[in-house]
A and B are shown apart, each in its own frame.
Chain A
């Protein structure tokens, strides 16, 4: 038996009806090379364990101030506690003692075997729904050896496998995991590399290279392209048309899903002590979403377009 692989797992969502066919177990790994301005899971970006402090749960009991050996906690002018993460050693004394559970830890180290057992527990749901496991993130390809080990074992157990990725990873990482996949979800943020860099912090050349190379593989692998639809940032006619033009020739792409912008992750930024970049952006209206969907459909590609999320 190969030595156990380890990864920082952000969370495992069970019987999910998103991120793949059927009822799924979705394993979110921590760590992402992108930092999309709209990211709704900022707690997935860092590849380490992190602490979150929910100020609205804090009742100013100051127990954290007392228990933290590194004196990371202090009291704000308004009486609530605040956290300086710089000296934190992740001893988790504060998490264990906070009576209001206002402090939580994002991520825990798990072995591949632990994750596989967790996935296996829901086999009955996969069976009845044609579901399976989806590895997501963060960017799960950053921990490719771990992902490979999990997916490979899942396949031997007859569990369908999917991956959700930005494709921003060395080809070697992809080469490790792709043979063990039954489907693939690729997030495309923008077609233009300069804008991509503005919005996510990195250019998109490698993403497209990987996508094209993947498409040439001699392996049956349905690919779904997912485009987060962020009003004013990547939803222009020009960008959508260009994205579609680049996707159209790809043989493995089965469909395009539009993921409407939402603000459900906003509170997490505050918990992490971070600023949210798009403070004033409103989620798009249903009418607007339908209009964008219609626009893409009108481009006469053979690829079906749907709104997901």
Chain B
């Protein structure tokens, strides 16, 4: 394996194009993220000028003014150009959505522990003197804070749910109609808007609203054209001053392309890349938000690539270089979010999800040469963006493709997110999208499901802390930390007659919390009506057809927002432990268990051991896994019970990093997890409780009916480098991925345990309790092994790397 990989990498490293990529990459890595208030300043100025106009027109005018006035920079070595703000790695403040998070963090944002942004004193002055005074009382976030229902607020304030996210930033979690824009250009879209506008009759009620809406779309289209042509002029001016003839030619080519796209249809692969990237910067400029997903690039860019190759206009290596350049651009922007949200999703996560593989809209194998090159671009660049996803169709995609995926996995970057295509299709269908279109689905954000240019929803509106579902069932609705009653009274647990009564209380607690989330959802849906996004809506055909913004439900398909469950394994293991310890073996009474949890197991070591040794999720153990199917069917049913103005509410299981802050609010659990510690991530087993390897994990995880959690389910698996060190290991990982698909598990991503991680675990065992390694015919926790054996295993990792390279 290593041999193959190294050979690939060597080829790449020796390639001339990697020199440019490495320089571009270096610039991104060495640039500190900063707050970028230029857009906010222009937005504020524009809103002052356009007072009295409809909100969406004001938004469109502000967007156009940003395009006209914003700083234009083309950096050295770039082939693909564009930037949402004025800085390479800027955090953009969208003051109309939420200005106050910056206000709250003015003194700390430069130094905060999660995702700091440097704020210089001029920008601070600008914020305090111009931006804040204008927006005070006008932002979406303030509307949300004023309207949040009491019960929702009580749960939010105690860490039971997290629901502010959508009010502090823009829409995101969507896949714009890149393909349409690239293919027809702004001119094609504009002619459709104009034709639609022609049909209106301003004497007819409702048509005036449509008219000004379509006008706002034309304003943003105009803005995008102006922005691109400003890049064209900048490149031309730079070319005139450039002494290096080869860079001068590059700049002239950039200039030519920017004068063409996205105004006109792309006529080459490079124009297509530039066109889509311009648009990407524009929608991010309009609303700072995570996961605007470029989607199925191997599909919609394929005709351009094929034509250029056939005509000789482009070599494969040039195409690879261009992809690399684009990949670096995707890594530049930084998601600006408040301190708390940053904790839930740390690392400036833009989640621009690019997807390869799967089937086409006729159900055929969709893998093509570009699919491989896109995977290769991620292997070349190795930055945190774009988020690379694979749609793997067990039935249709070739083994060669699967192998390429395994090669990327073995680099240990955590990419790609591997998705089971059949389940993704079924999730889309479960959102109400017909099969023909569902076949064209794409992953969104981390593992959510999406559809290009047609679908509107928040995939992750709010998170529910499942740790509290258990805690409340055992404390009769009282928060352990505060002692306050914040949830439903489900009875004193000592009086539960049997396990079913306990389980009933768990379910009632979940229902209560879900209900509070749904109430909050409806408020956010309402607040979002005041957050039109004409630049995003521009590439949603039905937004034009219906003359209705994305925010207002103009897209072809709308569904209820996503409600996300966090702490799956903690909940399952806790339910199983109560069943085992209290109701089956009688090792403890309910009162004893509750007392032990209250004491965080201090002085209850024997009970702690019994709780930890109760059957655990992740071991293919029917004793615990039998509970999973019923519980999760109940959870999905419960969420889907509710309608919103955009459709049925949708469940998902995908913490980004929310399992950590959520865990800090939850006391000790019957699973044996101690108080105030992180919960398990996604659908993965709790760290340190799965002892039987990846197959057993997959079997347990497959007990959840993934198709029903239509906003996606996330599984992290650790893989030892020994699995990837030789040909047999590669083949077996391929087989494991195929098995996962047969089992109906939706997603997996791999974390390769390398020597560095092992040494870190030896030095800080407390932080690496769950690290499993294969010893000699069995698996064990690395931190529990004696030092000699640890050293031997660390040595084994080295020896194998040496022997294989």
Taking Cβ atoms with an 8 Å cutoff, the residues of A that contact B are 11, 13-18, 22-23, 26, 28, 40-41, 54, 56-57, 61, 97-99, 101, 121-122, 124-125, 127-129, 131, 136, 262-267, 283, 286, 289-290
Contacts and interface: CB of A to CB of B under 8 A. Distances in A.
| From B606, B608, B743, residue with most partner A Cβ within 10 Å | B606
Q: Please give me the 4 A-B residue pairs with the lowest Cβ-Cβ distance, nearest first.
A: A15-B695, A129-B735, A99-B605, A264-B776
Contacts of B609: 97-99, 101
Contacts of A262: 776, 792, 796
B736 A125 contact: yes
Nearest to B697: A15
B776 A41 contact: yes
Given A97-B606, A129-B735, A264-B792, A13 B620 contact: no
| From B735, B785, B799, B803, residue with most partner A Cβ within 10 Å | B735
A159 B799 CA distance: 35
A240 to B, nearest CB: 20
A266 B789 contact: yes
A222 to B, nearest CB: 16
24 contacts: A13-B693, A14-B695, A15-B695, A17-B723, A41-B776, A54-B786, A56-B786, A99-B608, A101-B609, A122-B620, A124-B743, A125-B736, A127-B742, A128-B735, A128-B738, A129-B732, A129-B739, A131-B735, A136-B777, A264-B775, A266-B789, A283-B792, A289-B803, A290-B803
B696 A15 contact: yes
B695 A125 contact: yes
Given A15-B696, A99-B606, A263 B739 contact: no
Interface string B755-789: 00000000000000000000111110000111111
Contacts of B775: 264
Nearest to B702: A124
Contacts of B456: none
| From A263, A267, A283, residue with most partner B Cβ within 10 Å | A267
A286 B743 contact: no
Contacts of A18: 777
Prevailing SS type, chain B contact patch: helix
A144 B97 CA distance: 73
A267 B786 contact: yes
B753 interface: no
Given A13-B779, A23-B736, A128-B738, 5 more contacts: A14-B692, A22-B732, A40-B776, A54-B786, A99-B606
B777 A41 contact: yes
Interface of B: 605-606, 608-609, 620, 692-696, 699, 723, 728-729, 731-732, 735-736, 738-739, 742-743, 775-779, 784-789, 792-793, 796, 799, 802-803
B786 A286 contact: no
Given A22-B735, A124-B739, A128-B738, A17 B778 contact: no
A11 to B, nearest CB: 6
Contacts of A54: 786
Contacts of B786: 54, 56, 267
Contacts of A28: 777
A149 B785 CA distance: 36
B694 A15 contact: yes
A154 to B, nearest CB: 17
A291 to B, nearest CB: 13
A285 to B, nearest CB: 8
A124 B802 CA distance: 34
Given A15-B696, A97-B606, A264 B735 contact: no
B739 A264 contact: no
A98 B778 CA distance: 22
A15 B720 CA distance: 13
Contacts of B788: 263, 266-267
A265 B788 CA distance: 10
A11 B606 contact: no
A238 B268 CA distance: 68
Contacts of B732: 17, 22-23, 129
Nearest to A21: B728
Contacts of A40: 776-777
Contacts of A11: 777-778
A267 B785 contact: yes
Nearest to A26: B777
Contact of B778 (A13, A15, A131): A13
A54 B728 CA distance: 34
B142 to A, nearest CB: 52
Nearest to B731: A129
Contacts of A127: 739, 742
| From B620, B723, B736, B776, residue with most partner A Cβ within 10 Å | B776
| From B620, B738, B785, B786, residue with most partner A Cβ within 10 Å | B786
A15 B792 contact: no
A4 B417 CA distance: 46
| From A13, A129, A290, residue with most partner B Cβ within 10 Å | A129
Nearest to B604: A99
B55 to A, nearest CB: 54
B222 to A, nearest CB: 54
| From A121, A125, A129, A131, residue with most partner B Cβ within 10 Å | A125
| From B608, B732, B802, residue with most partner A Cβ within 10 Å | B732
B789 A267 contact: yes
B695 A264 contact: no
A17 B695 contact: no
Nearest to A136: B777
A108 to B, nearest CB: 14
A13 B777 contact: yes
B405 to A, nearest CB: 15
A53 to B, nearest CB: 13
